[in-house]
Amino acid sequence: MASRSEPIRPRHSRNRGGLVVLLLAVPVVLPLLVSTYARVDPTIAGIPFFFWYQLALIPVSVVFLLIAYRLVASSGRDRREQRGQDEGDVR
């Protein structure tokens, strides 16, 4: 099992990892800034800002998560291909 000591993360994954963390920080930080949305106006269809803003944050967070997922999933494919070349058939 010597092949397991090979580096299995591609070199560019660190940069990409940083971008992923940044993308994921957005849906964590925005809901924590309560003072930015703890108010009644403007209302939409009678719903105070406080409520509709937080509901609107949900699809926003999904967009950021999906972009992060795309990035990670494609770097996973890179990793798999690279390792396939480096190690041959491990199984």
Summarize as ranges the residues that interact with another protein (CB under 8 A): 1, 3-5, 8-9, 21, 24-25, 27-28, 31-35, 38-40, 43, 45-48, 50-51, 54-55, 57-59, 61-62, 64-66, 68-69, 72-73, 76, 90-91
Determine contact, residues 53/41, Cβ cutoff 8 Å: no
Nearest residue (CB) to another protein, 16 versus 65: 65
Distance CA 83, CA 79 (A): 6
Query: Which amino acid is located at 79 in the chain?
Result: R
Contacting residues for 76 by C-beta, under 8 A, at least 6 apart: none
CB of 12 to another protein, least distance (A): 15
- Least distance between another protein and beta carbon 17 (Å): 10
Q: How far is the CB of 14 from another protein (least distance, A)?
A: 13
Residue 82 and residue 53: Cα distance in Å, rounded?
Answer: 44
> Cα 82 from chain centroid?
23
Considering the complex, state which of residue 16 and residue 57 has its C-beta at the smaller distance from another protein: 57
